[in-house]
Amino acid sequence: MGTGMSNFSFLPAEFRDIAESATRAESHIMGDPRAACFHARFALESAIQWLYRHDAALRMPYDQSLGALLHEPCFQNLLPEAVFQKRA
């Protein structure tokens, strides 16, 4: 990780694992974009898993893959429709 300030340093200790993955992604943006994508996806998966564990409105589906979690109707209903619109 770089020695500069991260865009994710505001996250509290409870989200340390997510912040570490996001910071790793951030640090690889210019030098190793593939590694940046890996760490960004891991941070996203961690954040989504946290949401499902802590929000009673979300029901964990049988398939716990990232795609299944993101497309679960109970999850989609919590976000603006524009997030899931497909672009041509």
pLDDT band, residue 4 (cuts 50/70/90): low
In whole angstroms, give the CA distance from residue 26 to residue 17.
14
Q: What is the mean pLDDT of residues 14-38?
A: 93
pLDDT at 23 over 90: yes
Q: 40 near 25, Cβ under 8 Å? A: yes
Q: Is this prediction's pTM over 0.85? A: no
